Structures are given as C-alpha cells and as structure tokens.
Structure 1
Amino acid sequence: MIIARKLGQAVAAATLGMSLSAGAMAGEVNIGFTGPLSGGAALYGENTLSGLRMAVAEINAAGGFDLNGEKTTVNLVPLDDRYSPAQAATNAKRLKQESNVSAVFVPHSGGIFALQDFNEKDNFLVMAYSSVPSITEKGNSLTLRIPPTFDGYVRAFTNYALEHEGKKLGMGGATHEYAKIWGAMIKKEWESKGGEVVSDNPMDYNKSADFFTGVSRIISESPDV
C-alpha cells in the first residue's frame, strides 16, 4: 500500500536524529493522531484513523521499517479533538508529554496550524493531512504535508465549470478553517475569470447533519454551478 510506505517514511523522518521515546520499547516508535472522532465530522475522522490503523498494521506485520539499521514498529495513539484547533493543540501537548510521540497526524488545517505554533520547540513532526497550500509555505521544518495542494484543482474546476456550465456560482462551503481558505480561493479564481458568485451560504456540519435549508437558499439564487 502506498499509504503504508508514506507513513513509514514520515515516521522515519520524524525519528531520525531524535532518541526514541523514553517510555517506548526499544524498536518501537509512538505516533499520535488528533482528529474528529465525535461530533459532525466524526465519520471523516474515523475513516482517516481507520486508514492509519491499516497502514500501521501492514508496517508492523512486515516487521516494521528500517531506522538506522534497526527494525522499528509503530504504536498509534489516537485522541478526539471534535475538529477543534484548540483541542488539537491540547491533544498534541498531551501526546508528547504522556506518550512522547515523535509525530502527530492531523487531518484538518485548523489543527495543523495550531500545532505549528509549538511543534518545532517540542520536537515532533506534524503529519499534515490537508491540501491547504500555506501549511508548507510557512516553512515549518517539522511539517510533512501528505496530499498535494488544492490550488491546482481550484483552477481546473473553475475553467471547466465556466466553459461547460455557466458563470453563476452558488457556494455552500463549511465554517471550519480549511473550508474558509478553499472558499476564498475559489471565489477569487471564479471572479477573476469573469464569473459571478450569486450565493455564499456556509454551513457548520459540526452542529448539523441536515443541509436541506442551506442548500435550498443557494438554489433559490439560480446558480449554474
């Protein structure tokens, strides 16, 4: 699996030049996870954590990964942050203090930005599962962004939709940090190409799972896209 290889490389990058955690067994490294395991985004968080667990299981079943000539296995320590950047930061502090993790996997940009305020000082890698470009543009030396940035498909989406669908865009993004950055970027790109944003109605899926009313408001403005 590609994800397993990437995870192994990320953990290796985190631990090279560091001592293994004092509380961990020789040949084992702890990595943390902070993400939404309850609340409106719980399914997303559980799916992400499930993928990580699969990767860890595959790495460990193969005897671990090579770290300075020693086979090293992975121990995953997950905590729930309900998609809250402040809670993600608290979780990361706890993971470092209690489990001495070498890396913390974070699947939302708000949490990533929160951890970047102190991860270099506390000496752990932020495994950033987000396509927000500014995550790596900040120059944090202990941040690994896993997916590609989304600015490329902002342009591709805009060009395709304007050519094939029409110029009026209805926006129904969310209220968290990733959505705000994405929304601002797509709006700027859309309008720069001559399009018009006829409705912008963000919805908080941490508080609601029924988006009928919000989507109806967008559709009432008769967008093409």
Structure 2
Amino acid sequence: MRNRLLIYILGPEGAGKTTQAYLVKRYLEKRYRLPVVITEVRSNNLFMYLLIKFLIWCGRAEYYRYPDVYISRVDRLFIGRIINTWLILETAAFLTAHVLKVLLFRLMGYTVIVTRHVIDFLVDMYAIGLSSHKITRTHLIITRLLLRLFSAHSIIIYLDAGYSSLLARYRKRGSYTEPRGWIEFYRTLSKSLLSFATYIETYYIDTSSLDIKAVFNIVSNLITSQVK
C-alpha cells in the first residue's frame, strides 16, 4: 500500500476543506490503517507574524475594512520598497514551516492532509505584489521553486462553490465574510498557478449543490485510486 501520500485540499473559505480533511482522515485510518495527520502551512506563520506585528508597532501600518471587521497590515508603500527582501523572508519562513509541519511527518511514514499550503502562500505573495504594484522576477522564481514541493505521491483536490453558498456557510459557522473580489482573485490565481503543476493530479469539485456526504463520496473515490 502506498504510504506518505500528500493530499492537498484546496479552495476558498467555506468550500468545505476542513470538514472533508477530517472525514478523509477517519476514512484512511479505518479502511487502510494508515497513520494520517492534518496540518496547514499558512503564509502568516510565527516568524512573519512577529515581524508584521513589530512593523505595525513601529508605525508601518495601514488599516482596511472587511465587511465585518477592521484589519491592520503593513504599509503597502513600505512593502513596495522592500518587496524582494520581503518575499525571500516569507519564503524562508514558509520552507521552515513546511519542513516542520509536512516533510517530517512524511519522512515518519504519515499520510499528510494539508488544507493550506503552497498555492495559498503563492496567492498571498502575489496579492502583496499587486498591492505594491511590483510583480517581480523574484515572484516567478519562487513560484516555480515552491510548486516543486508537491513532488511525488501528491494529489490536489480543489473544492469550490458559488458565492451565495460560501456566504451561507460563513454565516452558519459565525465567521467573517470574505469579500467577493478576494474570492474571485483567489479562485482565478489558484487555477492559474495549478496550470504550472501539470505533474500533479488535480481534481475540481463544485460543492454548491452537494451535501457533506456527497462531497466525501467523490473525494474518497479519488483518494482510493491513489492509495495502492
């Protein structure tokens, strides 16, 4: 039986990533007796989180409003001046988190399910570049490097839904609502980035009109074909 599979469940907030990750974990543990771990590697990991907080504390901050809350972030003009350095720092922090939260588990023989990983990170990096009006050569080099993190024994399952379905799920779980513009940006850029990763099996599932069990049936069938 194949072991150390990396399953990346991708999609916008509200698409069902976390729910399906836990269902898949129980399925693989019960049916195949595989050791499984669920994790995520966010772009805003501990190192970058502390750096961002420090810069905001130093006054390098601006504020914008989600539909429900105010959020502070590092001043875009400042980021624009140090964009390449910022991208390198972000990437180094991301790679460190990847080693600790993904690679080590794979080396220990675990099947790893990640709900946030390199595509999410790359989308965030491009968003930084767009906000500073500098999509640089560094972006492109880092993109090609990080997409190789998927390498062997990987499968990507992209869950998506219409905005009205996502909005209903946000409200049901009491979380803030992602703006429609960000959802569309995330969706478009994610699929564009995935087009570079032709060596990875990628599946797209529209969860708008499906219940949790129906989605899981599709997901489990896809994963079963990978577990040998």
Q: Could you state the TM-score of these two structures normalised by the residue count of structure 1?
A: 0.32
Higher-RCO chain (CA-CA 8 Å, sequence separation at least 6): 2
User: In terms of Rg, which structure is larger?
Assistant: 1
